[in-house]
Amino acid sequence: MSGKKKPWGGRFSEPTDKRVEEFTSSLHFDKRLYPYDIEGSVAHCRMLAAQGIISPDDAEKIISGLQDILKDMGKGEFSYSSDLEDIHMAIEKSLIDRVGDVGGRLHTARSRNDQISLDMRLYLRDEVTNILGLLVGLQASLVDVAKREIGTILPGYTHMQKAQPVLLSHYLLAWWEMLDRDISRLKECRGRVNVMPLGSAALAGTGFPIDREYVAELLSFSGISKNSMDAVSDRDFVAEFIFDASLVMMHMSRFCEDLVIWSGGEFGFVDISDAFTTGSSIMPQKKNPDVAELIRGKTGRVYGDLMAILTIMKGLPMTYDRDLQEDKEPLFDTVDTVKTCLSVLSDMTGNLKFNRDRMLESAAEGFSTATDVADYLVMKGIPFREAHGIVGRLVGYCIEKQKDMESLDIEEIRLFWKDADADIYACMSVKGSVSARNIIGGTAGEAVLRRIEEIESGRID
């Protein structure tokens, strides 16, 4: 299409350079917005008719044309002409082809600047809802496994060094809590997405007597934007969403990192099912945790999307600038990535098989109950700092003699604390250590079961 014949070609006398057409076009990626673009146009058209800005007859023709386009696009039967700039132009051109000049009335009191903001908001509102559903699904998988593994003990780590025994269920519910914060962040984000920008037009609003509240009502928005300049230049909601999604990815990535480590031979804590692992093209014995690794890797990609949108925005003069067209690919990429990762991780989690004996054995190694012995001494009246020193020396002795604490005889323990008697052994057991931590937020079986009950009954704070 020559520059002259373009919808905006009135003031142009020369054709657009072919490369410029390709360079400026967003159609190949923004076509996914078509259902939202049409939904927004139908609402806008109804409002124009209700306000007497276009006739009811014209509105009917326009709406039925739009509905035909929606059908064709849905069936994959729409032919997108590559010289059209974007999805808005593709739909408008096809509308005019189908219903004649009357199609040209649809764009009254509207600009692509407020139209694209509307489309992005409608699209993201839906996708945030989809992502929330997937987050709840992953949470449900975690709770299922936590219930199934309620007696399983895991060595807990700090600094990647064995620290204290914990329940595997407690560990799994830690991810549940992180996802719960992700859910509340995304719900808040959805509130800020759910604002109707139409009526802002190019940047200054419109002189037509439009009814913005009515459009918002037709499209189920909870409010309308209050400044036309802000509305057409704002993509905070995109950046905010990608940030929230980055945290979701980071949480999944950390969980996957543990699964990668734990599924290796050195740990052998978990077996990831065959359906969620892959083999090596050269080493026949291998079963690799590629899904977990890819989720970890794709986190970097979403962080890249976040950097992209923040950088695109940082130098933009008010108001709309074409740079904003670059908001779409990072957004779509984040939406697609976070959705696939959540769905695959939910299923993978539900299929994990934990090696309970191996974890219990490992939890008992490394003097993981040393803190419990120090706490026991405190109960006997010794100040904590002193108790810490006594147990530290006791551990040093064990290392030197290559013994664990439970195998020391009482005389050996008395070398470090002269009043020791036999009940000291009770606090050295891994199970005792876990069940002693029966406080809100602690790892004791009772505390974890209480939390599961709260989660399942919806009493969540």
Q: Any idea which residue has 């996802």 for tokens?
A: 179
Of 194 and 325, the one with the shorter C-beta distance to ligand ARG is 325
Strand (E) positions, 335-408? 353-354
Of 319 and 369, the one with the shorter C-beta distance to ligand ARG is 319
Spatial contact of 149 and 169, defined as CB atoms under 8 Å apart: yes
Residue 371: other Cβ atoms inside 10 A:
16
Q: Any idea which residue has 């989690």 for tokens?
A: 349
Of 150 and 229, the one with the shorter C-beta distance to ligand ARG is 229
Q: Any idea which residue has 């940082």 for tokens?
A: 314
Of 57 and 323, the one with the shorter C-beta distance to ligand ARG is 323
162 sits in which H/E element: strand 161-167
Closest alpha carbon to 48 in 57, 223, 121: 57
Of the residues 79, 159, 281, 457, only one is catalytic, namely 159
Spatial contact of 167 and 177, defined as CB atoms under 8 Å apart: no
Of 86 and 244, the one with the shorter C-beta distance to ligand ARG is 86
**In a 3-state reduction of DSSP, which class is residue 185?**
helix
Report, in Å, the least distance between residue 439 CB and ligand ARG: 53
Of the residues 64, 81, 273, 280, only one is catalytic, namely 280
Report, in Å, the least distance between residue 184 CB and ligand ARG: 30
Report, in Å, the least distance between residue 119 CB and ligand ARG: 9
The partner residues of 157 in beta bridges, in order of sequence, read 162
Report, in Å, the least distance between residue 239 CB and ligand ARG: 15
**Footprint on this chain of ligand ARG (rule: CB under 6 A):** 26, 86, 112-113, 116, 320, 322, 324-325
Report, in Å, the least distance between residue 58 CB and ligand ARG: 24
Spatial contact of 58 and 103, defined as CB atoms under 8 Å apart: no
**94 part of the active site:** no
Closest alpha carbon to 112 in 36, 7, 201: 201
- Burial zone of 461 (CB within 10 Å; 0-12 exposed, 13-18 middle, 19+ buried): exposed
Of 112 and 251, the one with the shorter C-beta distance to ligand ARG is 112
**280 part of the active site:** yes
153 sits in which H/E element: strand 153-158
Report, in Å, the least distance between residue 265 CB and ligand ARG: 51
Closest alpha carbon to 192 in 121, 89, 118: 121
Active site residues: 159, 280
